[in-house]
């Protein structure tokens, strides 16, 4: 999603000649990506204006709109405050243990939001409604803001703040007038990512009994099997996603945030916290304890309570194997779908390519329930043999996680010199042979990273997997959801622990990559 936040308005620059087969592949992937939105529009058309209006303009939709709006309006600013404060304390001050604490500020990404909610609700059963939804959402998603803000703070030229301080501005004035404006892009991009996650999240809000569009769509789907009511709710949710994206683009603006020169190549002197060091450290530790301590302690408590009896290896091993197969196959497919667009973005950008790429980002930001609802209906009504098959669920994963692979691949292909492709062609290689012998091979690390990021998303995906998985398929998330839905928290604990254990190395990798990109 950072690609969406970073270059939505960037004008394309042509650097090479497009290969016809790459253009055709990019168009085909984009047409597949457009299926969810086209499906929603087609269902609204076939339902008719009067029926659609009756389903949309009703008190229940207004209630869901208020709930979802309040959730986004309250949770996103709180996450911005928490993330900015944590990033500044761990990157710009002499806070004790700040290097270790910076990793702990990223680690909550390893805990799926529905596992976080499971931990809180099993610890405090009365913690429900909007307050619980906002609190757990902030604790689950603030790292999406922390990462870009911390990276931006590392790259700031210390001469700017030093000059402002020399002119007589206080430290708070320097932060407000010099540092904070330069965090605008990072804050807007991270806020967009969090807002889209809030719109698409399902399990978290079911646990705390807070109704949103996503929970209502799932309820409607289960009662009417992709009936018009579920589709109309999905159409409102799609509009909400597009509104959030447009608002982020408007808030980001088109101001310039880069310099022609390289600036000062040195780390800024950490701000001295003095007597406030201990209170600041306590605040950081409190956030970490709430976002990591609560789920870890809760999962550990249920594991201890269940003992060896809850480790049903005859269920856990096949479930882990099926999850790994889906994650690997989905990750590879997603990366393969991203190759044509990533190559065109670097080698032959155009207005068509620019528009298609943004379409992929928009569709990738839609909730999994909307993507699954579209594919279920298309499979049932048009291609019945594909209903509840591996092909359908893998396609859903590809559409949902395409931006993750696209961002990684685009960066890697940009680092592969185009002259190598040209030299291979001059030596008699065909266009496809030259491409795969040079650029694709050099972009292999980025492809691996994109595959890993998509696979991580698939491991923790719930709603689309529940709707599309073939009969007999069980993933870690599905097993966890099944046991927790039966209030059997002890039996759900092993699956929660395994999902967290799988995700932790990826969060560490993200943290290392963030520091590496900042030149550390």
So what's the pLDDT on residue 2? Answer: 40
pLDDT digits (tens, 9 = 90+) for 347-377: 777 777 777 777 777 777 677 888 888 888 8
How far apart CA 26 and CA 205 sit, in angstroms, is 36
Domains of the chain: 1-33+311-485 (1.10.3720.10), 36-255+276-306 (1.10.3720.10)
CA–CA separation, 33 and 374 (whole Å): 11
Under-70 pLDDT residues of the chain:
1-19, 157, 165, 169-172, 222-227, 252-268, 346, 365, 411-446, 513-520
Residue 302's pLDDT is 92
Residue found under tokens 């994109």: 450
Q: Give the whole-angstrom CA distance, residue 207 versus residue 255.
A: 42
Helices (H), 272-367: 277-288, 294-306, 313-347, 351-364
Give residue 423's pLDDT: 67
pLDDT of amino acid 86: 92
Give residue 4's pLDDT: 41
SS3 content of the chain, % helix, strand, coil (to 5): 80, 0, 20
> How far from chain centre, in Å, is Cα 51?
34
Instruction: Give the separation between CA 509 and CA 502, rounded to whole angstroms.
Output: 12
């Amino acid at each position: 999603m950072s690609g969406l936040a970073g270059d939505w308005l960037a004008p394309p620059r042509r650097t090479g000649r497009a290969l016809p087969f790459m253009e055709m592949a990019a168009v085909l992937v984009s047409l597949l990506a457009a299926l969810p939105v086209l499906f929603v529009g087609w269902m609204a058309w076939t339902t008719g204006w009067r029926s659609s209006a009756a389903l949309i303009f009703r008190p229940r939709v207004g209630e869901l709109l208020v709930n979802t709006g309040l959730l986004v309006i309250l949770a996103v600013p709180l996450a911005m405050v928490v993330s900015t404060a944590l990033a500044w304390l761990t990157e710009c001050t002499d806070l004790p243990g700040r290097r270790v604490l910076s990793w702990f500020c990223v680690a909550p990404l390893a805990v799926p939001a529905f596992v976080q909610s499971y931990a809180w609700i099993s610890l405090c059963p009365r913690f429900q409604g909007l307050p619980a939804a906002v609190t757990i959402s902030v604790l689950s998603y603030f790292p999406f803001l922390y990462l870009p803000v911390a990276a931006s703070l590392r790259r700031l030229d210390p001469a700017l703040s030093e000059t402002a301080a020399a002119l007589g501005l206080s430290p708070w004035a320097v932060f407000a007038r010099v540092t904070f404006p330069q965090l605008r892009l990072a804050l807007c991009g991270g806020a967009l990512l969090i807002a889209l996650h809030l719109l698409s999240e399902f399990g978290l809000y079911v646990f705390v009994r807070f109704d949103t569009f996503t929970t209502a769509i799932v309820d409607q789907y289960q009662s009417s099997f992709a009936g018009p009511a579920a589709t109309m709710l999905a159409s409102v949710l799609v509009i909400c996603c597009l509104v959030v994206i447009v608002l982020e683009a408007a808030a980001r603006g088109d101001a310039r945030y880069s310099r022609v020169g390289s600036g000062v190549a040195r780390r800024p002197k950490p701000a001295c916290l003095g007597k406030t060091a201990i209170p600041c450290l306590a605040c950081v530790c409190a956030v970490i304890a709430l976002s990591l301590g609560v789920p870890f302690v809760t999962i550990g408590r249920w594991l201890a309570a269940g003992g060896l009896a809850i480790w049903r290896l005859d269920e856990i091993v096949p479930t882990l194997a099926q999850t790994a197969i889906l994650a690997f196959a989905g990750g590879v497919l997603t990366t393969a779908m991203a190759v044509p667009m990533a190559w065109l973005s670097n080698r032959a950008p155009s207005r068509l390519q620019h528009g298609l790429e943004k379409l992929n980002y928009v569709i990738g930001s839609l909730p999994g329930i909307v993507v699954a609802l579209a594919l279920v209906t298309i499979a049932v009504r048009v291609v019945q043999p594909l209903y509840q098959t591996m092909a359908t669920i893998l396609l859903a994963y590809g559409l949902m996680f395409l931006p993750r692979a696209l961002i990684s691949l685009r960066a890697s292909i940009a680092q592969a010199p185009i002259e190598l492709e040209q030299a291979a062609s001059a030596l008699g290689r065909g266009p496809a042979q030259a491409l795969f012998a040079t650029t694709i091979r050099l972009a292999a690390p980025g492809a691996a990273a994109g595959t890993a990021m998509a696979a991580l998303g698939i491991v923790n995906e719930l709603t689309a997997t529940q709707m599309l998985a073939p009969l007999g398929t069980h993933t870690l998330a599905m097993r966890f959801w099944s046991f927790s839905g039966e209030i059997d928290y002890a039996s759900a604990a092993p699956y929660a622990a395994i999902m967290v254990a799988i995700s932790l190395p990826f969060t560490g990798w993200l943290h290392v990559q963030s520091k590496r990109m900042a030149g550390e």
